[in-house]
A = this chain, B = another copy of it.
Amino acid sequence: MSKIDQSTDLKIKEAAKRVFLEKGFGGTTTRDIAEHSDTNIALVNYYFRSKEKLFQEIFLESFAETFTPITRILNDDLPLEAKIYKLVDNMTELLKRDPLLPMFVFSEMRSENSKMCDLVEGLHKQEGNAFITQLEAEAAKGNIRKIDFDQIDISIMSMVIFPFLSMNVIKLKKNLTTAEFYKLMDDRKKHIPEMILTYLRHPG
């Protein structure tokens, strides 16, 4: 289907996603969405009943879009080293395509009593974490040091995702163009796994 004559509801949803990702729920108006989708306010409400409903739909999709690839790779049947390289590579590519995605998700979950927290809570009640299990198995075999592997989990996600959240600060501080920033992110595909693996393999 061509981008021009796609169905109205899809046109609205895609425009809404763009605007919500940039400005968040509070900063976005239904008028914004109507204009960006080349429709009008009445149509937005016709298809999605309210700004709130439209937002929730997009938020949940964005949340899944952010975390499904991670979960999938973490549960893949791959040797530790390959898994870490693959995880960092895939996540980085995802974030390069959609750099505003994590800021959108996290900033809408900033408040502990945010509706989004409740919304997400229903989704994934501990869908298991094969990665932690795998690390523990390697540690039992004596291949890596034995530590609290939640820290490793958190550290990998931090090093991959945070630079995109703080993209504008980094660009200002280090005086980078967008292209240079992305180059730096590409270099991290080697840097991050090397750091993690060096640490894990080094005797505690």
Q: How far is the CB of A150 from chain B (nearest CB, A)?
A: 6
Cα–Cα, bound, A151→B169 (Å): 15
Q: Tell me which residues from 157 to 201 in chain A have a Cβ below 8 Å from any Cβ of chain B.
A: 157-159, 161-163, 165-166, 168-170, 172-175, 184, 187-188, 191-192, 194-196, 198-199
A85 contacts the other chain (CB 8 A): no
Select one of B22, B166, B195, B202 contacting A111, CB under 8 A: B22
Q: Which residues on the B side are within 8 Å of A151 (C-beta)?
A: 184, 187-188, 191
A80 contacts the other chain (CB 8 A): no
**Interface residues of A, dominant DSSP:** helix
A148 contacts the other chain (CB 8 A): yes
Q: Which residues on the B side are within 8 Å of A120 (C-beta)?
A: 169, 172
Q: Which residues on the B side are within 8 Å of A173 (C-beta)?
A: 124, 126
Cα–Cα, bound, A175→B126 (Å): 8
A155 contacts the other chain (CB 8 A): yes
Cα–Cα, bound, A103→B192 (Å): 23
Total count of chain A residues near the partner, CB < 8 A: 54
Does A195 contact B103, Cβ atoms closer than 8 Å?
no
A121 contacts the other chain (CB 8 A): yes
A5 contacts the other chain (CB 8 A): no
Binds B, one of A8-16, A23-31, A46-54, A88-96: A23-31
The 4 residue pairs across chains A and B that have the minimum distance between CB atoms:
A26-B26, A158-B162, A26-B27, A162-B162
